[in-house]
A and B are shown apart, each in its own frame.
Chain A
Amino acid sequence: MKPARFDYVRAQSVAEVHDLLAAEGGDASVLAGGQTLVPLLSMRMARPQVVIDIMHLVELATIALTDQTIRVGAAVRQAELLAWPELAREQPMLALALPWVGHAQTRSRGTVCGSIALADPSAELPLVMTALAGEVELSGRAGRRRVAAADFFDGLMSTARRDDELIEAVHFPRRRPGHGYAFAEFARRHGDFAIVACAAIAGADGIRLAVGGVADRPTARDFAALDGSALDDALEDFARDLEARSDLHATADYRRALVRRLGRSTIAEARRCRA
């Protein structure tokens, strides 16, 4: 339970991070809050040659509103976003989901972008990003690009980030008028990773439901404004298509049942919030 050896750099500028990532590529790990990376280092599941600490870059520690999105910089801690006074007004789904991310004692240090970067299929923030169809802002020496959530999460704990790129910020779409947002999670204990988590958006012309903890990545589906047994059937199809896995925590059948039940109640809650 002790990490293997690595060099440590406390970055002084974003340009320095880009240079190091260009030079070291996959042998470098970016260290933000460390709430996932440090245990991965301790368990030696990650063995980088160099760890690049970005938490002293004040330019990355900003929460800003753009026309369409809330832009959260790479050094913004989960507790800071949760305490941001505009949060519930600008994006209620984030305000609902953040209290489920770890515990107060890890949100104090863990970052929003770090959770997105690690792409755990049971984690809340990748799910919210997928439900809202947010974007990840990547930068490197070669330039800057934005990748949609659906393209960014490309497998089990795997993302479209290239080795020479830094996740400089993530963009969560702002609340849209006439839409309701809801989030719900089922876990054995509060603070555990979700067995199943659901995030729903209800609008005038339909519903969007995203599910985490079931497939190898968070997955969203858009439905027409269905009700009753038609909605149950649609959720059943969605649950079947997710290719649930059985593990120590729950069987695939159990996960599918949770998708139907929790999906249904989360959609109902989103509709209530819209009304």
Chain B
Amino acid sequence: MPRLSADRRHRIRLEVNGQPMAGEAEPRMLLTDFLRHGLGLTGTHVGCEHGVCGACTIQLDDVPVRACLALAVQADGGRLRTVEGLAPEPGRLSVLQAAFRRHHALQCGFCTAGILMSLDWYLRHNPAPDEADLREFLSGHLCRCTGYAPILDAALAAAAELRKAQGHA
């Protein structure tokens, strides 16, 4: 790749939620801004913008990542999943999303997209977490409404449901 100059926009091509997408970004553009303003995917929220709050967490190349701690140019050629890709079809929630609704795991909803993207990844890799594991993992997210207990309940319920669906309950 040649040197991308600071004062020009450059073509960024990547896969988002299974679809090829493209946009333009200066080298300094954060991935959060590229997602929201470049691709119009406003489900990813921007909170502290320095990696503390976790609201902008997405999945990049199959790991959870703070989108505010990545540059759009770094994601060129990458594979992204955002909260827009969680629901299996319009009007239907994923198991994890439905558990969040059932357990009142969100109030204002600002932190929710990031927490969902983190937990979606975590439950795929740790199908039988205990509460301590989840607390440790959720320490990477700030929620100022719920007090976290309903989020833990939703995550445990979703884990159980996913295990049942896969037949190892």
Contact = CB atoms under 8 A, between A and B. Distances in A.
Contact of B54 (A35, A41, A105): A105
B162 interface: no
Nearest to A110: B69
A190 interface: yes
Interface stretch (A47-55, A62-70, A135-143, A231-239): A47-55
A108 B69 CA distance: 12
Nearest to B28: A3
B44 to A, nearest CB: 14
Q: Which of B26, B28, B76 has the most chain A CB atoms closer than 10 A to its own CB?
A: B28
Nearest to A189: B139
Contact of B49 (A42, A102, A104, A106): A42
Contacts of A1: 49-50
A37 B70 CA distance: 10
A10 B78 CA distance: 14
Interface string B64-97: 1110111101101000000000000000000000
Nearest to B65: A109
A36 to B, nearest CB: 9
A7 B6 contact: yes
Q: Which of B33, B49, B122 has the most chain A CB atoms closer than 10 A to its own CB?
A: B49
A7 B70 CA distance: 15
Given A8-B71, A34-B74, A106 B28 contact: no
B51 A106 contact: yes
A39 B27 contact: no
Contact of B64 (A6, A49, A104): A104
A4 B66 contact: no
Q: Which of B7, B50, B57, B140 has the most chain A CB atoms closer than 10 A to its own CB?
A: B140
A76 B49 CA distance: 24
A9 B137 contact: no
A53 B74 contact: yes
Interface string B5-27: 11100000000000000000011
Nearest to B51: A39
A9 B4 contact: yes
B71 to A, nearest CB: 7
B65 A108 contact: yes
Contacts of A109: 60, 63, 65-66, 69-70
A95 to B, nearest CB: 15
B99 interface: no
A5 B7 contact: yes
A50 B136 CA distance: 37
A159 B167 CA distance: 54
B27 A6 contact: yes
A38 interface: yes
B118 interface: yes
Contacts of B30: 2-3, 38, 42
Contacts of B57: 105
A103 B4 contact: no
B66 A105 contact: yes
Interface of B: 1, 3-7, 26-28, 30, 33, 49-51, 54, 57, 60, 63-66, 68-71, 73-74, 76, 118, 122, 136-137, 139-141
The 9 closest A-B pairs by CB, nearest first: A103-B140, A8-B27, A5-B6, A108-B63, A39-B50, A105-B140, A3-B28, A10-B1, A8-B4
Given A106-B140, A109-B60, A190-B139, 12 more contacts: A7-B3, A7-B6, A8-B73, A31-B71, A34-B74, A35-B51, A39-B69, A42-B68, A104-B64, A106-B66, A108-B65, A191-B140
21 contacts: A2-B28, A3-B30, A5-B6, A9-B3, A10-B1, A10-B73, A34-B74, A38-B51, A38-B70, A39-B69, A43-B50, A99-B136, A103-B140, A104-B136, A106-B51, A106-B66, A106-B69, A108-B63, A109-B69, A190-B136, A190-B139
